[in-house]
Structure 1
Amino acid sequence: MSVYTTVSETEIASFLTHYDVGQLIGYQGITEGIENTNYFVTTEQGQFVLTLFEQHTMAEMDYYLSVMAFFHSQAIPSAYPQADMNGQYLRNLNQRPAALVHRLAGNTLQGPASLAQCQAIGEVLAKMHNAAPAFTTHQSNLRGAKWRAMTASQLITHLPATAADLLRQELAYQADYDTLSLPKGLIHSDLFRDNALFIADKLTGVIDFYYACDDYLLYDLAVVVNDWCIDAEGYIEHNRYQALLQRYGQLRTLQNNEMTHWNKILRAAALRFWLSRLYDKYFPKQGSLTQTKDPTAYQKILQQHQSKVLVIPSVEIDHGERH
């Protein structure tokens, strides 16, 4: 979350008149994140996040907000949109699609996750994947293999020789990504530690569904592992990894072909975020409150997966829970 489009108090107050949420009490720009403009908004009836979508059309946002409403309806602890007085989730604000989303209790993690927090995110991710078949609207991954190849071509001449060589090698390795016969469905695809809220070790909600799409369920798990299971030095740490994978596996069985391709998918997930962070570094967006994340963190994770294949742990299951 960031602020790229400045919105005045008067403009926010006017926007809120279309919702049954009472008068504006206060608002504050949010600096976390890197894609959209976000404000915390407090009204007479509650706390919300006002988001202006900088890169998406109204049609695209209809999909993302429907995803949020769906997961909320499935008892997944997650942020969900407030409908306006006409029953619509989206309106225009300063020439941007905009939505008002209920603000959940809790805070994002500021450091490495605890074992209990890793278990909690593994559990909710498995529940999301088990619920996904009931969502019948589909959208391809806008940060999938085609995007990775296109973005790499824009970046390659800007990179030091060693990084450019690494990128070329990984793109070649990932060339068959779209042909893998792996279970697909609705995924979050961006479930980092700053997109989940906790009170102590209790998960209170998943937020920021604006990269939701159809892709391999295993890719969603890989995105989570690459962020949640790292230690203070930025490397995958065994105990966190075991805790997360075991809890996920208690609720959703990984197929044999998913285990076979686990390393490739971990590398694809690392490549995606290495590329997006490199792009933000070399082609920065302008904003009044913005945050650019270090691309070398994901280069390090990618190289770790290239040099060491992580094994999926065996799972002790409660047969009443597993799907």
Structure 2
Amino acid sequence: MAVFTSVSLQDLTQWMPQFPLGKATAIRGIASGIENSNFFIDTEKGEYVLTIFENLNFEQLPFYLKLMRHLADRGVLVPAPIANQNGELCVALQGKPAAIVSKLSGTSQLAPQAVHCAEVGAMLARMHLAAQDFSIRQPNLRGLTWWQETAPKVLEFLSDDNRRLMHEEVAFQTAFAATDTYQALQNGPVHADLFRNNVMFDGEKLTGFFDFYFAGCDTWLFDVAVTINDWCIDLETGVLDMPRVDAMLAAYHEVRPFTQAEQIAWQPMLRAAAFRFWLSRVFDFYKPRDAEMLTPHDPTHFERILRLRIASAPTLFSSN
């Protein structure tokens, strides 16, 4: 969540009457994140989040916004998109698609313990199950096809060793995606970016997931791996913290038991989850877009994690 497109209070005042939120009284940019322009807005009805989409278009956005509405209606703790007087969840602002969603309570837990990881695991499983009957299908736009297309664009910026690593991992993931094991993995809508700063807590109680704008249809196990690779590691080294890993996986498994194919696929999925963010961070670092308040993430963090996941073969659920 950065600010690429500026919006003033006057701009907002002219745009807001179509929504049932009363008059806008304040707007302030949100500095974290790197994809869209995001703002907290105060209205006569309360606080909300305004997002202007910098990459996604009007045709793509119904998947994300209707998915969030679908999940919210089924009791999953996510921001609820607000429709305008015509029932539209996405409306043009500054010539770009924009949406307003409810603001979650609480704060991000940036130093999670096992209890927090268990809360995330259980809610992630409930989210996967709740989205099974969501009717819109859209692939993960940062999945394998994107990796295959994007890796050649950044190889020139890498050392010989990292070029080799990137080439070999694309080849490995391409081959694995063609296996019977991969084809047997359960799938559906996934968050695909469930990092610590995309979850809110009030003490030890989870109050919501947000920032669904990398969501898409992928394997549920990939979503679990993305989450483990952020919530359950030592941030300095990338090494898995097994008490946190076990807490998250046990809580997920209690709601939606893992399958035998998922047991086999666990290490490749941890590698895939690490590679996806290494590649995107390399791309954003060397091919940045202009934005207010934007600092690209360091790509070496996920390079380190990828190398660790290649070198080790953790089991999916060590408590079994």
Q: Distance in 2 between matches of 1:178 and 1:42?
A: 46
- Give 2:261's aligned residue: 257
SS in 2 for 1:84: coil
Work out whether 1:82 is the aligned partner of 2:82.
Answer: yes
Work out whether 1:280 is the aligned partner of 2:279.
Answer: no
More deviation, 156-165/275-284: 156-165
Judge conservation of contact 1:2–1:290 (CA < 8 Å) in 2: yes
- Give 1:147's aligned residue: 146
- Give 2:98's aligned residue: 98
Q: Distance in 2 between matches of 1:176 and 1:136?
A: 29
Q: Distance in 2 between matches of 1:162 and 1:197?
A: 38
SS in 1 for 2:132: helix
1:19 counterpart letter in structure 2: F
User: How many residue pairs get matched?
Assistant: 315
- Give 1:209's aligned residue: 212
Work out whether 1:193 is the aligned partner of 2:196.
Answer: yes
Judge conservation of contact 1:145–1:177 (CA < 8 Å) in 2: no
Judge conservation of contact 2:8–2:27 (CA < 8 Å) in 1: no
SS in 2 for 1:174: helix
- Give 2:315's aligned residue: 311
Work out whether 1:221 is the aligned partner of 2:224.
Answer: yes
Residues 110-157 of structure 1 show CA distances to partners (whole Å, capped at 9, x for unaligned) of x33111110000000010112222112101111111100111100111
Q: Distance in 1 between matches of 2:206 and 2:248?
A: 14
Gapped regions of structure 2 (runs ≥ 5): none
Aligned-residue Cα RMSD (Å) equals 1.2
Q: CA deviation at 1:313?
A: 2.2
1:263 counterpart letter in structure 2: Q
- Give 2:123's aligned residue: 124
Change in 2 beyond 3 A, CA 1:305/1:276: same
2:108 counterpart letter in structure 1: T
Q: CA deviation at 1:50?
A: 0.5
Q: CA deviation at 1:314?
A: 4.9
2:130 counterpart letter in structure 1: A
Q: Distance in 2 between matches of 1:169 and 1:90?
A: 40
Q: Distance in 1 between matches of 2:129 and 2:227?
A: 16
Work out whether 1:184 is the aligned partner of 2:183.
Answer: no
Q: Distance in 2 between matches of 1:61 and 1:187?
A: 15
- Give 1:169's aligned residue: 168
Q: CA deviation at 1:315?
A: 5.2
Residues 251-299 of structure 1 show CA distances to partners (whole Å, capped at 9, x for unaligned) of 1111111110110011011100000000000000101121311111111
SS in 2 for 1:189: coil
SS in 2 for 1:92: strand
Judge conservation of contact 2:9–2:25 (CA < 8 Å) in 1: no
SS in 2 for 1:137: coil
SS in 1 for 2:208: strand
- Give 1:320's aligned residue: none
Q: CA deviation at 1:48?
A: 0.4
Q: Distance in 1 between matches of 2:130 and 2:177?
A: 23
Residues 202-241 of structure 1 show CA distances to partners (whole Å, capped at 9, x for unaligned) of 1101101111111111101111011110124232111111
Residues 171-213 of structure 1 show CA distances to partners (whole Å, capped at 9, x for unaligned) of 1211224322211111111111111111111110110111111
Gapped regions of structure 1 (runs ≥ 5): 317-323
SS in 2 for 1:47: strand
Judge conservation of contact 1:246–1:314 (CA < 8 Å) in 2: no
Q: CA deviation at 1:51?
A: 0.3
- Give 1:300's aligned residue: 304
2:250 counterpart letter in structure 1: Q
Judge conservation of contact 2:64–2:215 (CA < 8 Å) in 1: yes
SS in 1 for 2:60: helix
Judge conservation of contact 1:226–1:270 (CA < 8 Å) in 2: yes
Q: Distance in 2 between matches of 1:158 and 1:293?
A: 16
TM-score by length of 2: 0.96
Q: CA deviation at 1:164?
A: 1.0
Work out whether 1:7 is the aligned partner of 2:7.
Answer: yes
Judge conservation of contact 2:70–2:131 (CA < 8 Å) in 1: no
TM-score by length of 1: 0.95
- Give 1:60's aligned residue: 60
Judge conservation of contact 1:112–1:232 (CA < 8 Å) in 2: no
Q: Distance in 1 between matches of 2:176 and 2:50?
A: 36
Percent identity, aligned pairs only?
Answer: 37
- Give 1:245's aligned residue: 249
